[in-house]
Amino acid sequence: MNPDESCIVRHFNQYYPLSAEDKALLFRLEDSATTVKAGFPLWEERDRAHEFCTLKRGWAFSYRELENGTRQILDIYLPGDIVGLREFAFSQRLAGVQMIEDGEVCFFPHRHLVDIFRQSFTLTSILFAIASRQQVMLTERLVNLARRNARQKLAHFLLEMCQRIKQTHGNGCESFRLPLSQEILADLLGLSPVHVSRTFTALNDDGLIFRERYRVTIPDLEALKHEAGFDDRYLIENMRPLFDGSPT
């Protein structure tokens, strides 16, 4: 496999242009992929935290199980994402991670990340940027859950996914695949599956979002951004000021 075709290389390259040596280091993180099925748990809460993983193919989500038997989904992971960064300093898993669809996952121990720290300033800086971005995304999701209505919640999340897919694949995102069930969306947005369905219908009736099975089409991005109060600053991936000395 050519490193330039790697999902993780494309992901990191969004932050800063990578050298051939940096691409080779990242390519090692997608070596020896394990095939996994939809619903497969990559790990569960309180499991030993001694490794990360990269998603080579397929989507996944992280979650917390609550005392009343419900769950809160925290993150959605796309191909190219590194999963488990937040637990680098912990001995136990703070959240479970489960595959949404069939895919390929590459597990690597924490010491491989230390090797990257030793060998590449660029990749180390990008990893810190990714960790910071994941934290900011959780903050935005907290605001979304607590302060927006159902229409805004769903519209905001779809715009976030649109932007993330665009950054990873380099294409427009007016129409994109969203392999998430209404149950997953409900557990992510703090709604019921019925409320998710009704909200999709209302947005469809207003011409803001069209959904056909697992494909979402956004005919007017600016109109949907206005509906959601969407500001994409928290999704900006650009490390150039850090490297070229220009003011931030």
pLDDT at residue 5, rounded to an integer: 60
pLDDT at residue 170, rounded to an integer: 62
CA–CA distance, 214 with 217 (Å, rounded to integer):
10
Delimiting residues of CATH 2.60.120.10 domain(s) in the chain: 3-140
Q: List the pLDDT tens digit at each of the 248 positions of the chain.
A: 454 567 788 878 878 889 999 998 888 777 778 999 999 999 999 999 999 898 989 999 999 999 998 999 999 999 988 899 888 889 999 999 999 999 999 888 888 888 889 999 999 988 888 888 888 888 998 999 999 999 999 999 999 999 888 877 666 678 999 999 999 999 999 999 999 999 999 999 999 999 998 999 999 999 999 999 998 888 875 555 455 544 44
Residue with tokens 């190219």: 80
141-147 contact pairs (CB < 8 A, 24+): 141/74, 144/189, 145/189, 145/190
pLDDT at residue 2, rounded to an integer: 52
Strand-strand pairing, 34-36 and 41-43: unpaired
The answer regarding whether domain 149-235 maps to CATH 3.60.10.10 reads: no
Contact criterion met (CB below 8 Å) for 34 and 106:
yes
Residue with tokens 């803001």: 208
pLDDT at residue 3, rounded to an integer: 46
pLDDT at residue 96, rounded to an integer: 97
Q: Which CATH superfamily is domain 3-140 in?
A: Jelly Rolls (2.60.120.10)
pLDDT at residue 244, rounded to an integer: 57
Delimiting residues of CATH 1.10.10.10 domain(s) in the chain: 149-235
